[in-house]
Structure formats: C-alpha cells, structure tokens
Amino acid sequence: MPCGGGDVGLNVWVEQGDLLFYIARSGCFDELGRMPKLGRVRVALDPSPFQNDAEAAPTQFRQVLDLARGCVQVHATSAACAATIDVWADVHRPVVHVGVVTDRPAKLRVAYENWRLTDRPFEKAEHHSARSWAGAPVTGVVMRDSVGFDTDGVTFYHRNAGETVFDLLARQQGLDAVKADLWDPLADLTFGGRLAGANLVPAGTVDGVYASTPFRAWRLQSRVPAREHHARIVMHTAQSATTQVWQEELKEIEASDDPVAERAKTEQWWAAFWQRSWIAVDPLNGGPESRPWQAGRNAQLFRYQLGCNAKGKYPTKFNGGLFTFDPEYIDPKKPLDPDFRAWGGTSFTAQNQRLVYWPMLASGDGDLMLAQLQFYRRSLGNARARSRAYWNIDAACFVEQIELFGLCVGYEYGWKRKPETPLGVEDSAWVCYQWDTVFEFCQMALDRGRYFGADVSADIQWIESCLDFYESFYQLQSMERTGRPFDGTGKLTIFPGTACETYKDALNPTPTVCALRGVLRSLLELPDRLLPAVRKQRWQSMLATVPEVATRTMEGRQVFAPAKSWSRKQNCELPQLYSVYPWGEHGLFRSQLQTAIDTWRYGFDAPDQKQTKSWHQDPIFCARLGLVDEAAEGMLAKLTDAPRRFPTFWGPGHDWVPDHNQGGSGLIAMQEMLMQTVGNRIYLLPAWPQAWDVHFKLHAPYQTTVEVRLIGGKIESLIVTPPERMSDVVIAAAWQRESGEH
C-alpha cells in the first residue's frame, strides 16, 4: 500500500512475519541523476502477531489504508500475540512514525536496510533510471551511501560528490563556457535521515538479499519488552556546505519533533484535503464488482498518491511518483535494485508530466501544483542561457525531455549527433523541435490564478519568456529561409516543428498553434496590475500573427489536421485533437463540434493512434465531444483495477509502475464527463451516463465549487458556492440535451 504525506512516500507491506516499507522523498537525486530510495525499514515483534509458528499464518490479519487520516494500520493476531502497527508520515515535516501496540509485553526490532554499500559501475541495464547516461561515452559510478550507528540510532545519508549529470550535460551540450552562470541543484546535495526510538538501542548488522538485491541491515531493538513502542525516521535534504552542517540541521529537525501535536496537524490536513473535492460513483449501492464504482474508488486512491507530494520541492514524477519498487516484480528480465525506474530520475518528460497536474484544477489542489510550476521558475535562467548560447535569443527554450536543471536529457540531445543537426536541437527522431509542451504549464499557472485566486506574478516572467522564444526563434528561421520574418499573409511560420512526437518536420503544428493562442489570450485577460497595457499590446500583436488550425478532408469529411504539412509519422498520438483538449477551442459548447467529432471518427492515420493505456487521451477527447458511451468505456479502461495487489499501481504502459499518466488521464476524463467550464459557464454532466449514480464536488474557475448528487438519472442536490454563480450553471446531461431540456 502507498502511504505518505508532505513530500514523503512509503510502500508498506507485510511479508514472512515482518512489516516492511520503502522510503522515498521528493528532491533526492544522486550524482548520476537517479532518484534513489532513502532505504527500506523492517519491523518485527517477539512474540510475533504475524505467525503462529515458523510456517502458519496469523489467525487474524488486516491491513488498512486510512485515507481520512493518511496512515496505514496493520492489525494481526496469532496464538502468541495481538498487535496494531500504525505507520504515518508527517505532512508538515519530513518525519515517518511507526507506532506499535500489543496485548502483552513484546520486544521490538526495527532495522534500516541499505543496498548502496560500495561504489560500483553504473551498468548498461540500469541506464534508463538515469536516462542522460544512456549511450554516454563514459561509464558512470553508483556511489555508496554512508550508514552507521550512533548512540541510540542509525544515521544514513548520501552526499553527491565529484562529477554529476549536470557537469556531464553542460559538457555534452557545449555550455562549459557559461557553466559557472548556470543553476546546479546537484552539487553537494545531501539527503538521508536517522532512525531511532525512545526504547531502542543498536543491535548489530546482518546481511541479506531481498528480491535480487543484496543489502545490509542496521538493527535496533528494544531495551526491554513493552506493550507500546514508537520509532521514527527523521529526514533532511539540502545542498549543505559540509556533511557536518547537514547533520546539525538534521538534529534540529529531530529535536523539534512533537509526534502528538504533529499527528493532529497531519490528520487535520488530510481531513481538509478530502473536503476540497470528491467523486463517489454509485455511492449507495456500489461495490468492487461494479466497474463504475471501482473507477470512482480508484480516482480517490490516485488522488491520495498525488497528495503525498503536496509539499514537495520537485514535481510528482509521471513514472512512478514516490511509489516505485523492485523492478523484477514488473519485468522478470530486470533483476535490478529498487532504485530503478524507466525514464529516469532527474529527467522529466513534459507531455507526461502535464497529465499528472491538469486534474488538480478541478480537484481544488492548487497548492499541489506549485511543485510543477516552481520547476519552471527555477529553470528559467538555464533555459535562457542555452537559448543565448545557441541562437543569441535571450528567452527560454524548455525542451520536451528536460533535466530538472533545464538542460536537455543527454540521451535525446544525442551522444552521436548527426553533423547536420543544429546546435541546441535534440538529435532525436522523437522529440526534435518539440518545445511547445511548456505552454500547457504556462496555461496551468494562469488557470491556477483563475480558479483559486492564486498570485500568478511569480509565473509571468517565465511565461512571457517562453512566448518571446517562439516568436524570436521562428522569425529567425523564416528570415534564414525567405528573408522575411512572416509569411505572405503576415503570419508566423512555425517550421521546423512537430505535432507532439508523432508528425515530424511539421509546418504550423496544431498543438503549437493552439498553445500559442491559448496562452496569449489568457495573458491578455490578466489585470493591468499584473501585466501592464504596454506589454499586453505586445502580446496582442503576437496573437494576430498566430496561424489558424489546419484542416484536411478524410473519407469525404472535413477534419482537423495535425499540422499544415509534415514529412513522416513517428509515434501514435492524436495531436489533431489538441484543439479539443487541452486547448478547448473546439468541441461541445465550443465551436466546430461536428468537425471535431469527424476528426475523432475519421481523422487519424493509423489504428494505434486510438488507445486507452498510459498517457493516451481518448476518453478525455470523447468527453469534450459529448460522446457519452465512448468516454465512459475509455474512462473505465483507464481507472479499472491494476493487475497488482494495490488497485492504482497501474502500468507499466508506456512508462513505469505505478503509471501516474494512466491515473491522471483517467481522472481528467472522469472530471470532464461530470463538469466542463467554458468562459463563465459551468456545464454539468455533459458526458455522464444517465444510469450511473454519482455524488461529486469539483472546482470551477473564479473560486467556485459545485456539489451534485445524481440518483436515478435525476439531480437530487445541487450546491454552488458562492451562490451567485448558480446563474452560470447549465444542466447539460446528454439525455436532456437530446430532449432539448438543458
């Protein structure tokens, strides 16, 4: 089960008489660019509540993820002992607590387990856990951790030393001359913690193997048997000047910890989190055998996983978040250590990251969005530096496969670059010239202000810099080809471009066209105190130069094209429908609905462009088109139980396990089926099946919430806050649209 809070994620399970959990924390990145676990903790009791003897199972066993309180509780009874073990993470401080209560005095043993015991070569099979090293002409080194007993506990940490992936990529990408001016978040980064407890003392080390990975355990055990025990893991992550400074900072965190008070604050936070929004499908009669009920339950479980990184310094990663585990349980051909995840640690794929964060608007989780927005705020200087170095443009180019410090991922930039590939451009058949996904995060930042009244002033600079880059770069490209900055009609010529990863060497790609138009229009809606009139005039002028969405004829019908032209198809996305989602130019309650529907029906070039796994957006498109049955079936496919013990550990799909893209896109689809907003209007139940009872609370723009209870195809309750927004609400259920009642 996942468990967590603040920026800490745990995987908790019971196995062979022990309770175990992995610890992961946002912002823990090693020299190579991996995102290693902080370690594994093993808890055992003597006598044991988990086993009647060496073989037999307990007479009673129950493991509960308590969403309301944000904890995992294990209740077990054997002939020898009955116990409750309570595991929780402090939302406001980096501390994990383990509480044990038994029906008779018992000895507690808690062990910290670590598998990074010696320096070793970074093997080729592992390279995609630090993707920039894939294909690199040098061999990386996995550096060991420092672990040892102190008076009454175990202290463990990793301190980055020597050359890091930042140094490697600055050299690869020809930026050594400006390297001193670049932001480097990896140098001297130190992360780890301390395991201790009031009644615990060191009890030696023991070596073992879990899955295929050797480890060493530093054991603590209780001084005397007791009926109550408490252990805690206090953590710290910082670019500290020295190890000693880091240890002193860790002690300060530990000294100020008050478990009773912090438990109350943590439970208050989770209670407020669950009051922000919810979706309960078939709440009166549903159960696990019902696919709609299952989807509603899984939407909440997935949102819990996102909530565990509410206060993270870095975004929740699409490829497993905080909850990855031993890879051989995903693919038996990968007997690698628990730090492995496909698609890297410090590397972020923008097309995938966006699906983790878009649903947070309707969920009311504007605070959770900050980690993703700060990713771009912090990287702005580096993104501008690389643009100056390559094109003499003082504006931000944020690439698709991006490292957390704003440079290209090494694998995509290319270790054996073709001579004709321009500097600064990824030498990748997949992501070359794919720089427009950043505009979805620009739009998220602006929507966060529109939905929640959040202060967006810290985001305007990087948003404008992204627009500056596109205008400058493509005028420069046009000047080199034609001697003119615009085409014959005064429009910007976006070439070379790409429509997602799929349509390459594209002219005026539809996602780029819609992105520019959408962000520019949102900027122009800002009040003058945030964006003065003189700057609005500049962006109004740019808006006038953005080309139109291209169309084509397929099977006798006009459909939206992925671009005006392209040379080849590379992947299996549907960029021709990005005007429907995320950009909302076309579709239900918008313009050109029939053209958009025909694009869905006839406007694709290969069958594999329609899928429901992982990051595919099919049910979102269908919801935005009012196609109830197709949206419902696609959403159910997204949010059905995963083929694992925990129902929302989906994947690997195109990514890894748990696949946060599958959860994010499924949650977006469910939200869009329930409610869509266009301007001031709030459209309810636009793609929801009449037969599915539901009780939901979602957020709309302008600090508005909408709570609906639908039973038997009739709305039994509708609460809009503030009440004056009720006049903007339209009941738009398909069964009423068909009868003309909406």
pLDDT at position 55 over 70: no
Percentage of the chain lying above the pLDDT 90 cut: 97
- Measured in residues, the chain has a length of 742
Q: What are the DSSP calls for 592-643, one per residue?
A: -HHHHHHHHHH--SSGGG---STT--HHHHHHHTT-HHHHHHHHHHHHSPPS
d(CA 21, CA 3): 9
Cα maximum dimension of the chain: 86
For the CA atoms of the chain, what is the radius of gyration? 26
The secondary structure of 433-449 as a DSSP string is T---THHHHHHHHHHHH
For residue 623, count other CB atoms closer than 10 A to its CB: 31
SS3 for 533-594, per residue? HHHHHHHHHHHHHCCCCCEEEECCEEEECCCCECCEECCCCCHHHCCCCCCCCECCCCECHH
Helix axes 350-357, 660-674, angle to 10 degrees: 50
Pick from 48-52, 342-346, 453-457, 600-604: least confident: 48-52
Closest CA to 182 of 195, 200, 169: 169
Q: 606 burial class (0-12, 13-18, 19+ CB within 10 angstroms)?
A: exposed
The DSSP-derived string for 405-417 is TSSBPHHHH-SS-
Can you read off the two tokens belonging to residue 727? 């006049």
Nearest to 342 by CA among 2, 697, 661: 661
Cβ atoms of 703 and 453 closer than 8 Å: yes
Average pLDDT, integer, range 131-142: 96
Residue 523's pLDDT band (cuts 50, 70, 90):
very high
pLDDT at 738 over 70: no
Q: Is 340 in contact with 349 (CB distance < 8 Å)? A: no
CA distance 732 to 516: 30
Smallest CA-to-CA distance from 69 within 258, 209, 270 is with: 270
How many other C-beta atoms can be found within 10 angstroms of the C-beta atom of residue 257?
A: 15
Averaged pLDDT, 411-415: 98
Query: Any alpha helices (H) in 282-369, and if so which ranges?
Result: 291-307, 350-357, 360-363
Judge whether residue 739 has pLDDT over 80: no
Nearest in space to 733 (alpha carbons), one of 556, 542, 609, 589: 589
**pLDDT value at 742 more than 60:** no
Which of these CATH numbers, 3.30.1490.20, 3.90.1150.10, 3.40.50.300, 2.70.98.50, describes 2-264? 2.70.98.50
Whether the per-residue pLDDT at 263 is higher than 90: the answer is yes
Owner of token pair 């506990």: 153
Tell me the per-residue pLDDT of 681-691, one tens digit each, with 9 for 90 and over: 999 999 999 99
Give tens-digit pLDDT for 364-405: 999 999 999 999 999 999 999 999 999 999 999 999 999 999
pLDDT digits (tens, 9 = 90+) for 292-338: 999 999 999 999 999 999 999 999 999 999 999 999 999 999 999 99
CB 733 within 8 A of CB 688: yes
Choose among 196, 235, 300, 198: nearest CA to 90.
235
pLDDT digits 0-9 by tens, 435-470: 999 999 999 999 999 999 999 999 999 999 999 999
Task: Output the pLDDT for position 257.
Answer: 83
- In angstroms, the CA 410 to CA 226 distance is 54
Place of tokens 């800490």: 8
- Rounded to whole angstroms, the Cα distance separating 388 from 397 reads 10
The pLDDT score that the predictor gives to residue 51 is 82
Q: Which pLDDT belongs to residue 377? A: 98
What phi and psi, each to the nearest 5 degrees, are found at residue 531? Answer: -140, 100
**DSSP codes of every residue in 124-169:** GGGGGGGGGGTT-SS--EEPPPEEEE-SSEEEEEEE--S--HHHHH
Q: Which of 476, 469, 475, 495 is nearest to 384 (CA)?
A: 469
| DSSP collapsed to 3 states, 1-31 | CEEEECCEEEEEEEECCEEEEEEEECCCCCC
Instruction: HSE, CB side, 13 Å, CA atoms: give it for residue 471.
Output: 21
Q: Please report which confidence band the pLDDT of residue 736 belongs to, taking 50, 70 and 90 as the band edges.
A: confident
403 and 165 in contact (C-beta within 8 Å)?
yes
Mean pLDDT rounded to a whole number for the chain:
97
pLDDT of 49 over the 80 cut: yes
